[in-house]
Amino acid sequence: MEKNYYVCTGCGLLCDDIEVESEKNIVNKVYTACRVGVAHMKETRDEAGFRVDNTPVDEVTAINEAVSILKNAKNPLIFGLGNSTDETQKLAIELAKKINATLDDTSSFCLGPLSEALIQDKLKTCTLDDVRNKADVIIYWGTDPSDSHPRLLSKHSYFPRGSEKQRGWEEERTEIAIDVRKSHTAKICGNYFFQIPPKGDAEFIDALIAGLSGKLPKTSYNYPPKKLLELANILKGAKFGVIFVGRGLIYSIEDLEPLFKLMKVLNEKANFHLIPMVSSCNIVGFNEKLFAETGYVNSVKFEDGTVKHGPEYSIVESLKAKTVDAALIIGTDPFSILPHSIVKNLLEIPVISIDHCETLTSKHSKVYINTTISGVESGGSATRMDGVKVSFEPVFETNHPSEEVILKKIMEAL
Amino acid sequence: MELYQMLPKTNCKKCGKTSCMAFAVALMARELTPEDCPPLKEEPKYKESYEKISEIFKPSEEATETGLIVHEDLCFGCGNCVVACPPNVANDPYGVGSGNAPRNANKLVLTVEDGIVRAQNLGECRRFGKNKILCNGCIVTCPVEAIEFV
Amino acid sequence: MDFGSFLTTPEIKIKIITYRDIFQDKAMRENRFGEEYKNLSAVIKLDPADLKQLNVKKGDTVILKNSFGRVVVRAEESGYETPHRGIAYMPKSPWSNMLVSDETGGTGVPKFKDISVTITSAKGEKVTELSI
């Protein structure tokens, strides 16, 4: 029987095996997707909406107001795009070039440096299918996939059988969790859970490197050397090791040096790869496109054909220094995800919010345009957290415009 | 048995069984429900016991002959149990056995529907039947102990 | 014993670590302005000994304060076996973001996992509403 599979764009996993039952533009039942995926695909939809200054208007008025804001801005900011399709992202980059904007996405304060290192081939990576087929030792470092990417363990990393791993998780795979608290994932890893104190990651890495080289592993917090040596031995024996890195590790180290050192030693003794736990469905796509275009993955400013780059062009520093005078926010909610101490400056400039639902940001925007949920109401393609491209079709079409359509109209009017 | 202690123990036979002990066994085997005991349901002195027994055998929890209960409000829909379940893997090696959606959901013991795991076909579960074993695939793989066997 | 516990309203210094919670994420996607999202987000999970020192029962509200903001959230027991006095856990949410410092050292990365607050009983004050 031919099955119609849809793609869930709820998180960085982009699960492409979701069956959906729908009727008259309402999703009734979702099979196989996790709790978050189901909530994402079943999000209730109001009528298509456009607002200017909190008053409902029609599409043309909203677009014209947005265009006027962008035209009058000396240094506009375009931010978001982590949940947007490849087509939307391409348009946004073109738009940023056209209006000499600052362009940034959430990776500038999340896993950006790691994604950059992987795109530049400075660190070894692999696909999630490789993990399923070959991985025997897997580490979850500073991340809790059971809560953020619920199907990671069941679809790719621990439980499924793969072409070279046919005998099952009990016999052939070892899962290790390194974290500051006993998360849900750590519980599944059982005895292979290594609890370290907050900010203790850099020292743990040094101690692990010592252990891997046969030296006594020492940390200032007296982590039991015996346990560290046990871990080192497991890693040494890995035929295809994978480390899933989350923000817990990235925020704890000053820069990526400790990770580079660790991966170098691990690859001298064994065979290890790294995958970042990217949270949204197409952040990797944005990083790759911007890199291809400019040589940088985020935080850029376009100026009359040239590109400038640096942390000063990230959304956080731009808001702190108040260098931007208008903002086009696409598919994200800075008022929820950024510290209030920084994002409150966004209240002082006109904001255009393009999103599929009301958010804290849309409620405080001058212009709000309600768009489609990709994968449910509009199609396109996106890049999974491991760099694999996934295309998707909509389940049904509604009268909501897609982000792509809105950006096209804004660009035409400029 | 704890369950027997909560019954009237009068052997009135109104449920169709010869004794309250037989009724307790029938309750556990899902042949009868707490409502099948008229004194338990109707008499005020057994109200507390009736409520307790009804809690244990809540039909919406789909507790079954193998004693499998899913705590739906705890379930993540992560699919760990679906992919780890031995009969699931045996019946659908390239579907759920490889981590994907089921090729044919009707043959499976555990599936995920609307983000919550559902148990069915319990005849296939390894804990059921003549050659039953204490399989715990779905228990140890769950991050929140949403599946348990009573 | 720190001086804080001798005050009539004991207050302690706490470091907060944020984490992801699947049900909070689900509630956000269903209705981010609703009660369920608030109940799952405006929560802080403490070591039972810290709760005792604050004279707070689980389910009571507490005030979290530092130079960047002040929020009222519900206090719960963390349920972790290893004691962790002086460290508490909050789901990452607009509530936790009220307390994050604006110090970035010019890097563009706020100190999301390095939040220091003082915590006291809110004496019945209600949980802060979701707003800017």
Per-residue pLDDT tens digits for A207-216: 999 999 999 9
Give the one of B76, B84, B114 whose C-beta lies nearest to A159's C-beta: B84
Please name the chains neighbouring B, where neighbouring means 3+ C-beta pairs under 8 angstroms.
Answer: A
> What does the pLDDT average to over A287-313?
95
Domain for residue C109, yes or no? yes
pLDDT at position A356 over 80: yes
Please write the tens of the pLDDT for every residue from A115-156.
999 999 999 999 999 999 999 999 999 999 999 999 999 999
- A-interface mutation test, from C29, C36, C66, C81, most A Cβ less than 10 A away: C29
Task: Give the closest-approach CA distance of C8 to chain A in angstroms.
Answer: 31
pLDDT at position B32 over 60: yes
Q: At what angle do helices A201-212 and A257-269 cross, to 10 degrees?
A: 20
Task: Give the closest-approach CA distance of A122 to chain C in angstroms.
Answer: 21
Asked if C107 and A311 come within 8 Å (Cβ–Cβ), the reply is yes
- The answer, for A183 touching chain C at a CB cutoff of 8 Å, is yes
Tell me how far apart the alpha carbons of residues A127 and C53 are, in angstroms, rounded to a whole number.
Answer: 49
Return the bridge partners of A274, or none.
A243
Q: In this predicted structure, which of A225-229, A367-371, B51-55, C87-91 has the lowest mean pLDDT?
A: B51-55
Q: Do B37 and B18 sit in the same domain of this protein?
A: yes
Please write the tens of the pLDDT for every residue from A67-99.
999 999 999 999 999 999 999 999 999 999 999
Domain that holds residue C115: 3-121
Domain for residue B96, yes or no? yes
- The answer, for C89 touching chain A at a CB cutoff of 8 Å, is yes
Task: Give the closest-approach CA distance of A201 to chain C in angstroms.
Answer: 13
Domain for residue C130, yes or no? no
Give the one of A147, A344, A357 whose C-beta lies nearest to C20's C-beta: A147
Q: Please provide the average confidence, as pLDDT, over all residues in chain B.
A: 84
Residue A289 phi/psi, 5° resolution? -65, -45
Domain for residue B115, yes or no? yes
pLDDT of residue B75: 95
Domain for residue C15, yes or no? yes
In the A/B pair of chains, how many CB contacts fall below 8 A? Answer: 96
pLDDT of residue B65: 60
- A-interface mutation test, from C16, C18, C19, C77, most A Cβ less than 10 A away: C19
Q: Tell me which chain A residues have a C-beta less than 8 angstroms from the C-beta of B76.
A: 34-35, 146-147, 150, 184
Q: Do B90 and B42 sit in the same domain of this protein?
A: no
pLDDT at position B60 over 50: no
Tell me how far apart the alpha carbons of residues A149 and A229 are, in angstroms, rounded to a whole number.
Answer: 30
Torsion of CA A124, A129, A130, A132, to 10 degrees: 130
Q: Among B18, B36, B57, which residue terminates a domain?
A: B57
Q: Do B95 and B125 sit in the same domain of this protein?
A: yes
Give the one of A30, A39, A159 whose C-beta lies nearest to B83's C-beta: A159
Task: Give the closest-approach CA distance of A342 to chain C in angstroms.
Answer: 6
> What does the pLDDT average to over B14-43?
82
- Say which CATH number the domain at C32 has: 2.40.40.20
Q: Tell me which chain C residues have a C-beta less than 8 angstroms from the C-beta of A195.
A: 82
- The answer, for C7 touching chain A at a CB cutoff of 8 Å, is no
pLDDT of residue A74: 95
pLDDT of residue A84: 95
pLDDT of residue B76: 95
Residue A241 phi/psi, 5° resolution? -95, 150
Domain for residue B34, yes or no? yes
Asked if B98 and A38 come within 8 Å (Cβ–Cβ), the reply is no
Query: Collapsing DSSP states into helix, strand and coil, what is residue A244?
Result: strand
Q: Tell me which chain A residues have a C-beta less than 8 angstroms from the C-beta of C17.
A: 180-181, 198
Task: Give the closest-approach CA distance of C30 to chain A in angstroms.
Answer: 6
pLDDT above 70: percentage of residues in chain A = 99
pLDDT at position B61 over 70: no
Domains of chain A: 46-109+281-372+400-413 (3.40.50.740), 112-276 (3.40.228.10)
pLDDT of residue C1: 54
**A contact set with B (CB within 8 A):** 3, 5, 17-19, 29-39, 132, 146-147, 150-151, 153-156, 158-162, 168-169, 184-185, 187-188
Domain for residue C131, yes or no? no
In a 10 Å sphere around its CB, with 0-12 CB exposed, 13-18 middle and 19+ buried, how is residue C33 labelled? middle
Domain for residue B144, yes or no? yes
Q: What is the ipTM of this complex?
A: 0.92
> What does the pLDDT average to over A310-314?
95
Which positions 6-35 of A are in contact with C (Cβ < 8 Å)?
10, 34-35
Give the one of A40, A316, A317 whose C-beta lies nearest to C29's C-beta: A40
Domain for residue B24, yes or no? yes
Q: Tell me which chain B residues have a C-beta less than 8 angstroms from the C-beta of A169.
A: 84
Asked if A339 and C107 come within 8 Å (Cβ–Cβ), the reply is no
Asked if B99 and A29 come within 8 Å (Cβ–Cβ), the reply is no
Asked if C108 and A316 come within 8 Å (Cβ–Cβ), the reply is yes
Beta pairing, strands C87-91 & B147-149: unpaired
Q: Do B138 and B81 sit in the same domain of this protein?
A: yes
Nearest alpha carbon to residue A336 among C37, B114, C115:
C37
Burial pattern C51-81, b for ≥16 Cβ within 10 A else e, equals bebbebeeebbbbbbbebbebbbbbbebebe
Neighbours of A270 (CB within 10 A): 17
Q: How many domains does chain B have?
A: 2
Q: Please provide the average confidence, as pLDDT, over all residues in chain A.
A: 94
- Higher model confidence: residue B31 or residue B10? B10
Give the one of A43, A317, A344 whose C-beta lies nearest to C29's C-beta: A43
Domain for residue C26, yes or no? yes
Q: How many domains does chain C have?
A: 1
Q: Do B125 and B99 sit in the same domain of this protein?
A: yes
Domain for residue B62, yes or no? no
Predicted model pTM: 0.88
Return the bridge partners of B70, or none.
B147
Domain that holds residue B45: 2-57
Q: Tell me which chain C residues have a C-beta less than 8 angstroms from the C-beta of A360.
A: 32, 94, 130-132
In the A/C pair of chains, how many CB contacts fall below 8 A? Answer: 125
Asked if residue A370 lies in contact with residue A356, where contact means CB atoms within 8 angstroms, the answer is yes
Q: How far is CA A136 from the centre of its chain?
A: 25
Q: Tell me which chain B residues have a C-beta less than 8 angstroms from the C-beta of A3.
A: 101
Domain for residue C129, yes or no? no
pLDDT at position B104 over 90: no
Q: Do B145 and B75 sit in the same domain of this protein?
A: yes
Q: Tell me which chain A residues have a C-beta less than 8 angstroms from the C-beta of C106.
A: 311-312, 317
pLDDT of residue A308: 96
How does residue B51 score in pLDDT terms, banded at 50, 70 and 90?
confident
Q: Please provide the average confidence, as pLDDT, over all residues in chain C.
A: 91
Please write the tens of the pLDDT for every residue from A236-277.
999 999 999 999 999 999 999 999 999 999 999 999 999 999
pLDDT at position C11 over 70: yes
How does residue C69 score in pLDDT terms, banded at 50, 70 and 90?
very high
Asked if C109 and A316 come within 8 Å (Cβ–Cβ), the reply is yes
Task: Give the closest-approach CA distance of C129 to chain A in angstroms.
Answer: 12
Give one DSSP letter per residue of A89-115, joined into a string: HHHHHHHHHHTT-EEE-GGGGTTHHHH
> What does the pLDDT average to over C97-112?
93
Task: Give the closest-approach CA distance of C28 to chain A in angstroms.
Answer: 9
pLDDT above 70: percentage of residues in chain C = 95
- The answer, for A254 touching chain C at a CB cutoff of 8 Å, is no
- The answer, for C132 touching chain A at a CB cutoff of 8 Å, is yes
Phi-psi map region of A100: left, alpha, beta (phi>0 left; psi -120 to 50 alpha): left
Please name the chains neighbouring C, where neighbouring means 3+ C-beta pairs under 8 angstroms.
Answer: A
Please write the tens of the pLDDT for every residue from C33-61.
999 999 999 999 999 999 999 999 999 99
Q: Tell me which chain A residues have a C-beta less than 8 angstroms from the C-beta of B80.
A: 153-154, 158-159, 188
Neighbours of A6 (CB within 10 A): 23
pLDDT of residue A247: 95
Task: Give the closest-approach CA distance of A269 to chain B in angstroms.
Answer: 30
Q: Tell me which chain B residues have a C-beta less than 8 angstroms from the C-beta of A19.
A: 101
Asked if A182 and C82 come within 8 Å (Cβ–Cβ), the reply is yes
Q: Do B78 and B115 sit in the same domain of this protein?
A: yes
Q: In this predicted structure, which of A185-189, A336-340, B132-136, C125-129 has the lowest mean pLDDT?
A: B132-136
Distances in Å between the alpha carbon of A224 and those of A77, A193, A220, A349, B33? 49, 13, 11, 53, 55
pLDDT at position B130 over 80: no
